[in-house]
Structure 1
Amino acid sequence: MKIGKALRVERLKLGLTQQQMCEGIISRPFYAKVESGKNKINAESLFQILFKHQIEIDDFCQLIQDTYITKNRRVINKLQERMDYAFSTKDIDSLILNCKKIMNVPGDRIIKLRTLVAIAYFRNELNEIDNGIKKKIKIEFNEGQKWTKRPESLRLFANTMPLWSQDELNFFIGRLLATVKNENITELMLERYLRIFENYLATCYERKIPMRKNSNHIEEIIDYITNATSSNVHLMIYRINAIYMKSLFKNDKEKVTKIKADMNDYGYGKLTINWPN
């Protein structure tokens, strides 16, 4: 979708006329031609319109991204979506098939590193990953706090979590916590961090790491998730998962069973398929 069409979509959602949409920024005749694709709008005017009407920039970018990214990037994005879905549903055959397709697409070293680890994880071959590959991955996280703000680096970290020792994992998670606590972040970025924190809790549980203060970030992560999602219905699933994981760490079997039963009764049973037991 082009910028003009996306502006029209957002305008109609808001119930505004073209004059109301662009008033005080650009003329209505010019704006009309932007919507029809006959005129191009400059970045300053575009952002003034988006900010004026409190249109979420992340949502707007989602509407237009397929038009403005390269064909190669579109192919990778589609394969990545299929890979992520296969990962979440534990469809190993589909996961490996899409991973192989990604490896044949030119460029994008980060997604290829993610793919190598994903295949090894589902084949139980993590220990066989070449040390050279591990070094390449670790280089991506050697830039202080910079990697904690880049979506591609965050995805790489989420996928490679099983590779790291517990000390390394705690160090990386500490960096992420410092970022989310000291930065103003969008809801989209917050959800990316919440997915990683969810994975961290699951990884620690699988490794039988006890929930102890000062030795890991388990309790700190649970507290952060419950506080960060307390007033956001859209992110409530992460809050429920955090409460569930806390019950697991405390070996509160009655509460664990009740949470899963409640989720199933309310029609959200599929969302808990990958939760640890």
Structure 2
Amino acid sequence: MEIGEALKITRKKLNLSQSEMAGDVLTKSYYSKIERGIHEINAQDLIDILNLHGIRIQDFFEEFNFEKNTFGKSNFDNLHRLVGNAYYQKDTDGLLKVIDAIDKFPNSQNNRLARGLRVEAKLLYQGLKYGPEKIDDETIKEVKQLMFNSDNWDELSLNLLSISIPVLKIEELNSIIGSLISKKAPSATSIRAKEIISSILINFLDKAYKSSFLKGKSITLAFKWLEQVDPSLKNYCFLKIYTNYYHALLSGEKNKTQRIREFLDDNGMEDLTRYLAR
């Protein structure tokens, strides 16, 4: 169940109008679009609305067929969405509120999903607040421990690797990428895992170029993996563009990289070219 739908059910149980439910947290118009699934709600606003009506976030999740008094997969999925929203909106307070919500689950200290999501939110918070270079060693150590606490690179490990690329040294990342690709062939990987791995490999190639790490087995394997990904991925088109761009960049084909940037700019995608290495 989507969070907007759960909010609507909760509001009706409380016999409140949309304006009353939103209070002074959101406008009635914006809140209405959240209930209808047009907009997503960020972590800070969700928790503020629930607090306004005396509802604990863990009780809110448990109400809708989520695990009773435990942190399970359903809780992870919903809170992970809030973490992503908070990060992209640069909402550091929202990230702190998600961390606080995770801590209130009775089993959060001994639950790998809860610990993984908590350290993910913590790393993103520190990165936004202080910059990637100032993320503390304890957080990086915990990320690595949880990342490697799975022999098969599950979704949690992949998520942690994805967000930790800025703080890992290129030599260390090179070794990790080699291990990942050796265990995760595109043909034997779920759609969701393919999407995460594709993003990881593009970011790895970007960091390799910026670090003047232009050759290596992992770079060759990364391109080979990306070239085998099937068109079923929702971001397949952009994935192919990025793959071709970084292949040209690492090969020194400046004219080709310029043509790709011009193509993106001419089609109204200047925001994408802004973050491409040059």
Q: 1:196 to 1:69 in 2, by over 3 A?
A: farther
Deviation at 1:195, TM superposition (A): 1.0
Partner of 2:119: 113
Deviation at 1:132, TM superposition (A): 2.8
Cα distance per residue 1:199-254 (max 9 Å; x no partner): 111222222222x134xx12321232123246867512111101111222233222
Kept in 2: contact 1:120–1:129 (CA 8 A): yes
Partner of 2:203: 199
Partner of 1:79: 82
Identity percentage of aligned residues: 18
Q: 1:208 to 1:123 in 2, by over 3 A?
A: farther
1:59-208 to structure 2, matched below 5 A, reads 67-69=64-66, 73=76, 76-86=79-89, 94-107=90-103, 108-143=114-149, 145-146=151-152, 148=153, 150-181=154-185, 184-208=188-212
- Distance in 2 between residues matched to 1:105 and 1:273, nearest whole Å: 35
Q: 1:112 to 1:232 in 2, by over 3 A?
A: closer
Deviation at 1:196, TM superposition (A): 1.0
Cα distance per residue 1:5-47 (max 9 Å; x no partner): xxxxxxxxxxxxxxxxxxxxxxxxxxxxxxxxxxxxxxxxxxx
Q: 1:125 to 1:213 in 2, by over 3 A?
A: closer
Q: 1:257 to 1:138 in 2, by over 3 A?
A: same
Matched length: 202
Kept in 2: contact 1:230–1:239 (CA 8 A): no
- Distance in 1 between residues matched to 2:178 and 2:79, nearest whole Å: 30
Kept in 2: contact 1:260–1:272 (CA 8 A): yes
Partner of 1:243: 244
**In structure 2, what residue type is equivalent to 1:221?**
A
2:101 is paired with a residue of what secondary structure?
Answer: coil
Kept in 1: contact 2:98–2:121 (CA 8 A): yes
**In structure 1, what residue type is equivalent to 2:225?**
Y
Kept in 1: contact 2:226–2:243 (CA 8 A): yes
Deviation at 1:169, TM superposition (A): 1.0
Deviation at 1:141, TM superposition (A): 3.1
2:127 is paired with a residue of what secondary structure?
Answer: helix
1:191 is paired with a residue of what secondary structure?
Answer: helix
**In structure 1, what residue type is equivalent to 2:213?**
I
1:201-220 to structure 2, matched below 5 A, reads 201-210=205-214, 212-214=215-217, 217-220=218-221
Consecutive unaligned residues in structure 1, runs of 5 or more: 3-65, 87-93
